[in-house]
DNA sequence: AATGAATGAGGTTTCATTCAT
DNA sequence: AATGAATGAAACCTCATTCAT
C-alpha cells in the first residue's frame, strides 16, 4: 500500500500499475496478488488507509464542546490530512470521486458533510435556513481552499486554517 | 475535438483513446495524427476550446462598472461553464490539474485569479489585507462549491449563484 | 485461422495461445486482435472453417435417391472430414463439446443427427422404432469408429467406410 | 486424488489447478507436492484410480462362460463406469486421449480391445475375418455410444445397454 | 491529404512450482 | 512431514503511434 502511495505521489496516476507497485514494494507481482485481488483493491486499501486518520480526527469534532470548536476541528483535520501528503491527498480525492461507489471508499466526503451538519446543529452555531445545504457548502469551501493551497509551493497550515475559518464563518454568518 | 469531448462526457476517462476519438469523429486514425501530434495534444486542444468561452465571459468582468458587479460576473461565468457540460467540465478540471503544467493549459486558474484580483482592487470592493491571497481564496471557494454542486443530481444554477456569492462576499467582508 | 489449425494439430491444445497463433501467422499480436475479438473467436472461426466442408458434404445426403445412399454419404463425409486433418478433427471435436454452446459452433453434431434422421425416414431405410434415438446412435457409432481409426497410424479410408457401414447397417437392421 | 476428481466434475477442466486441488483436499500446496511430482502426476493418479474399477469389472469378462456373456460384461462394465461419475468420466476420456502417451494411462483402451479380442475368440462368438479389427471396432462403437449418451440429460443405463448390444451384435453378426 | 493495417510495449492477472521455516 | 509465502514466466488483451499506399 505504501508503494502504491509513493508511486502516485511521485510519478502520478499514469504510472500506477500493478507491476510498478510490486517493483516499488520489492516483491514479485505474484506476491502482490496474494494480498490484493486486483488493482482496484490496492487503490481501495490505500484510500482507506489514507482517509482513516482524516476520519478519526474529524470525528473528534463530535466531542467538541461547541459548534464553533467542532468546525475548527473539521477544518484542522482536513488541513492536516492535506498537508501530510499533499499530492497524494489530491490524487486520492479524484479517485474517490471516480471509483465505482462503495460505502467503504465513497463515503469520506459524505461523512465530512454529516459531521459538518451535526456541528451546525449545535446551539452556538450560526443558525442556517437549510442545514444540509450549508453543511455541503461548508465542506465544499474547505475542500476548494485546501486543495488549491495544497498545490501551491509555499504551504502554511497555520495561515490556511485562519483563512478557511474566515471563509466558512463568513459564509455561515451571512444571511442566505 | 468535439469527438473527444463527447467520448469524455458520455463514456468517461477510461474510454478516451485516440482510436475512439478518430472513430467518433468519422475520420481515420491517420488523419487524426495529421492534425494532432499525439493524444495529449487532443486533450490540450479540448481544454483550450472548453475554457475559451469561460475566459471570454470572465473577462467581461473587466468591463463591469463596480467590483461587486465584476465578482458577480466571475461567479456566473464559472457556473455557466460548469453547467454547459457538467461531466465534461469536471473531467477537464482534473486533466488540467494533472497534465504536465504548461502556460497554455494550466493558465485558466491563474487567469481567473488575476481577474479576481483586479476586481478586488476596484474602489467599491471590500478592502483586503492581501489582495493576491484573497483573489486566490475567492477562486478556490468558487471552484470548490461549483464542482461539488456539479456532481450532485439536482443542479440549480440560480440558487448556486446566490450561495457562491454569499460565500465569497462573506469571506471578503470578514476581517482577516 | 490456418495458423491456429497448425498449432493445434502439431503442438496440441496446451500450446494454443494468442501469442503462438500470431507468431505462427507471422503477424503481430496486435494485428491478430484487429481481426478477432478474442481467443475464443479464433477457435470459433477455425471450428466453422473446418466443419464447413463436412456440413456441405453431409448435406448432399439430402439429395440422395435412397436412404441407404444417404447413409453412405453421411459416413463418407465424416470419414473424409476426419482424414483431411485427423488430429485437428479430433481436437476440434472436443472443443465443440466443451465450448459455450452457440448455434454456430455447437450445431455440427446436432445437424448430423438431423440429417441421419431424415435419411432414416426414407421409405427404403430399415424401419426403426424410434427414429430419433436410432439417428443419434448411428452418428455415435460413426463418430466412435472414425475417431478411433483416426488416432491409429495406418488409416485406410476405404476399409473404414466398409466397416462403418457394416456397423451402422448391422445396428439398424437388427430388431431393437 | 478425490479432490481433483471433484474439481473436475463440479467446476470443469479450467478450474483444475494445483492450488485448487490442495485447497479442496484441505492440505497445503507444499504437502501436495510431497506426494505428487507435479500437476500431470495428479491427473495420472486420478486416471489410474478411475479406470481401476472399470478394468476390474471388464476383466470379469475373462471368466464368463460364453463369448456373448463376455461381450455383455464388457458393455455393462463400460456403462457402469460412465454412469458412476458421468462428467468425470468424459473429462478423463479427453485427458487420456491427449496426455503424453504412457503405458500406464493410455492402456485402458488397449486393454479393453484385448479383452474384446479374447471374447471374440470364444467358440460361440460370431466368427470374424479379422478378430483384432473387429475387437477394435467393437470397443469404438461402445465408446462412441456411451459417450454420446453420457452427454445427454436423460441417461438410462438399462436402455443404453440394450442399444449398445444391438449395435455390437449387429456389427459382429453382419458379414464383413 | 487521407487511410487504416500493422506494430509491439506494456497492462492485468493466473498458476505451477520452490523452499525457508 | 507440513506449511504457505514467494516467485516469475506466460497468458490474454489494449492502444498510442507509424507508415506504405
In degrees and rounded to multiples of 5, residue A124 shows phi and psi of -85, -5
pLDDT in tens, chain C (176 residues): 999 999 999 999 999 999 999 999 999 999 999 999 999 999 999 999 999 999 999 999 999 999 999 999 999 999 999 999 998 998 888 888 766 556 565 688 899 999 999 999 999 999 999 999 999 999 999 999 998 887 777 778 999 999 999 999 999 998 87
Instruction: Provide the phi-psi class of C12: left if phi over 0, else alpha when psi is between -120 and 50, else beta.
Output: left
Confidence of residue A62 (pLDDT cuts 50, 70, 90): very high
Contacts for B172 with CB less than 8 Å, ≥ 6 apart = A170, B120, B125, B126, B128, B134, B138
Q: Chains touching chain B at 3 or more Cβ pairs under 8 angstroms?
A: A
Q: Quick check: C29 CB within 7 A of strand E?
A: yes
Mutate to test the interface with A, among B147, B151, B171 (most CBs of A within 10 A): B171
Q: Are C112 and C139 in contact (CB under 8 A)?
A: yes
Which residues in chain D are closer than 8 Å to C145, comparing Cβ atoms? 137, 140-141, 144
Tally of CB atoms within 10 A around D47: 23
Partners of B136 on chain A (C-beta within 8 Å) are 148
A109-155 pLDDT tens trace: 899 999 999 999 999 999 999 999 999 999 999 999 998 887 777 77
Please state, in angstroms and rounded to a whole number, the distance separating the CA atoms of residues D118 and D4: 34
Between D107 and B142, where is the model more confident?
Answer: B142
Euclidean distance between CA atoms C163 and C61, whole angstroms: 19
Inter-chain CB proximity D145 and C166 less than 8 Å: no
User: DSSP letters along C27-93, please?
Assistant: S-HHHHHHH-SSHHHHHHHHHHHHHHHHHHHHHGGGG-SSHHHHHHHHHHHHHHHHHHSHHHHHHHH
Q: Which of A151, A134, A113, A155 is nearest to B170 (CA)?
A: A134
Partners of A153 on chain B (C-beta within 8 Å) are none
CB D42 within 8 A of CB D4: yes
Which residues neighbour A129 within 8 Å (Cβ) at sequence distance 6 or greater?
A: A176
Give the orientation angle of helix B67-84 with respect to helix B39-59, to 10 degrees: 140
Flag whether C touches A (3+ CB pairs, 8 A cutoff): no
- Name the minimum distance, in Å, from the CA of A27 to any CA of chain B: 28
Q: Is the CB of A30 under 7 A from strand E?
A: yes
Residue C130: list chain D partners with CB under 8 A: none
Helix C2-11 × helix C86-98 angle, to 10° = 100
Q: Which residues contact A26 (CB under 8 A, 6 or more apart)?
A: A3
* Nearest residue, CB atoms, D167 vs list C97, C149, C171: C171
Q: Among residues C128, C112, C143, which one has the least CA distance to residue C173?
A: C128
Question: Tens digit of pLDDT for each residue in B56-82?
Answer: 999 999 999 999 999 999 999 999 999
Q: Report the distance separating Cα D47 and Cα D57, nearest Å.
A: 16
Rounded to a whole number of angstroms, the distance from the CA of C82 to the nearest CA of chain D is: 15
Please indicate whether, in this complex, the C-beta atoms of B151 and A94 are within 8 angstroms of each other. no
Burial classification of residue A64, based on how many CB atoms lie within 10 Å of its CB (0-12 exposed, 13-18 middle, 19 or more buried): middle
**Percentage of chain A modeled with pLDDT above 90:** 78
Chain C residues contacting D, CB < 8 Å? 12-13, 90-91, 94, 97-98, 133, 136-137, 139-145, 147-149, 151, 162-163, 166-167, 169-174, 176
Q: Which residue is closest to D171 within chain C, CA to CA?
A: C167
Rounded CA–C1' distance between B35 and E2, in angstroms: 12
Give the pLDDT score at D106.
Answer: 64
So what's the pLDDT on residue C95?
80
What's the pLDDT tens digit per position in D117-139?
A: 999 999 999 999 999 999 999 99
Label each residue of chain D as H, E or C: CHHHHHHHHHHCHHHCCHHHHHHHHCCCHHHHHHHCCCHHHHHHHHHHHHHHHHHHHHHHHHHCCCHHHHHHHHHHHHHHHHHHCHHHHHHHHHHHHHCCCCHHHHHHHHHHHHHHHHHHCCCCCCCCCCHHHHHHHHHHHHHHHHHHHHHCCCCCHHHHHHHHHHHHHHHHHCCC
pLDDT in tens, B134-167: 999 999 999 999 988 877 777 789 999 999 999 9
Protein-proximal nucleotides of chain E (any atom < 7 Å from a CB) = 1-20
CB atoms within 10 A of CB A35: 12
Residues of B in Cβ contact (< 8 Å) with A141: 141, 144-145, 167
Stated in angstroms, how far is B83 CA from E1 C1'? 38
Question: Comparing A19 with C156, which gets the higher pLDDT?
Answer: A19
What is the distance in angstroms between the Cα of C77 and the nearest Cα belonging to chain D? 18
What is this structure's pTM? Answer: 0.87
Q: How many residues does chain D have?
A: 176
What is B105-140 written as a DSSP string?
Answer: TTHHHHHHHHHHHHHHTSTTSPP-SSHHHHHHHHHH
| Distance (Å) from the alpha carbon of B113 to chain A's nearest alpha carbon | 11
Amino acid at each position: 500500500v505504501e508503494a502504491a502511495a509513493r508511486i502516485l505521489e511521485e510519478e502520478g496516476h499514469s504510472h500506477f500499475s500493478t507491476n510498478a507497485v510490486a517493483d516499488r514494494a520489492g516483491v514479485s507481482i505474484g506476491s502482490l496478488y496474494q494480498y490484493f485481488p486486483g488493482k482496484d483493491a490496492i487503490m481501495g486499501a490505500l484510500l482507506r488507509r489514507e482517509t482513516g486518520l482524516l476520519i478519526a480526527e474529524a470525528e473528534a469534532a463530535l466531542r467538541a464542546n461547541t459548534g464553533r470548536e467542532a468546525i475548527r476541528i473539521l477544518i484542522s483535520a482536513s488541513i492536516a490530512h492535506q498537508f501530510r501528503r499533499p499530492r497524494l491527498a489530491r490524487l486520492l480525492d479524484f479517485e474517490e470521486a471516480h471509483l465505482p461507489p462503495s460505502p467503504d471508499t465513497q463515503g469520506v466526503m459524505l461523512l465530512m458533510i454529516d459531521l459538518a451538519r451535526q456541528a451546525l446543529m449545535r446551539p452556538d452555531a450560526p443558525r442556517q435556513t437549510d442545514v444540509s445545504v450549508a453543511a455541503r457548502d461548508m465542506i465544499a469551501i474547505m475542500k476548494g481552499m485546501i486543495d488549491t493551497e495544497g498545490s501551491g509551493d509555499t504551504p502554511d497550515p497555520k495561515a490556511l486554517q485562519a483563512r478557511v475559518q474566515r471563509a466558512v464563518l463568513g459564509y455561515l454568518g451571512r444571511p442566505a
